[in-house]
Amino acid sequence: MLQGDINVHLREAVSQAFAKSSISIELILGASVTKVTPDSVTYEQNGQTLTIETNTTIWSAGTATNPLIENLAISPENRTKNGSLKVLPTLQLPEFPEVFAAGDCTMLSSDPLPATAQVAYQQGKAIAHNLNAMIKGHSLTPAQVKLRGSMMKLGIEKSVANIFDRFEVTGHSVHLIREGTYLQLLPTPIHDFKVTTNWIVDEIFHRHSQ
């Protein structure tokens, strides 16, 4: 997990789960990746530059700013140091109040939020509400985002979660909670049906472990 990540408080639970895993997992901590090639990863750690030969590299440490966002005519003072757009509490762009922005391409200076799907979903609803208010000539409302916690997979049928920043849980039960939460966020009933059917088959026949 990256420094400052919303899931930092789950580090200990994740480390313990990896230690108990039947598959050998080596954690390289306090390192910064400097180069990725088709067959290697180079990183710096404690002042040394090291290279690991790889067959497969899966990158999950974030992405660069999208070119669409980079090329917008927004002044530097209304951007963060990594190029994200600063927005008002109503999610409007300060220089273009008729334009709204949300998700991981934005930063609310007064209350920074993690770049996660649950934040983007809630901000999207807030923007829809404010667009409707703007059309009708009503006052706009600051976006209210309530973090419900965080969940992540740790392998087949195992997950770890922090629920409402109060309860930390791990194991198969969290795996089921995560799947149920995922279903709530799917866009259409047909997506719900397809995913639910596949998961039921997996749970009954353990297809994923064959």
Domain range summary for the chain, segments of one domain joined by +: 67-135
Give the Cβ contact number of residue 6 at 10 Å.
19
Q: What is the pTM of this model?
A: 0.65
Cα–Cα distance, 86 to 43 (Å, whole number): 31
Is residue 198 over pLDDT 90? no
The model's pLDDT over 141-155, given as tens digits with 9 standing for 90+, comes to 999 998 777 777 776
Q: Give the tens place of pLDDT for each residue, 162-172.
A: 776 666 777 67
pLDDT tier, 1 (very low <50, low <70, confident <90, very high otherwise): very low
- Give 91's DSSP letter: S
Residue whose tokens read 């985002």: 145
pLDDT, one tens digit per residue, over 34-76 is 999 999 999 999 999 999 999 999 887 766 788 899 999 999 9
Query: What are the backbone angles phi and psi of residue 149, rounded to the nearest 5°?
Result: 110, -170
Greatest mean pLDDT among 7-21, 54-68, 94-108 lies in 94-108
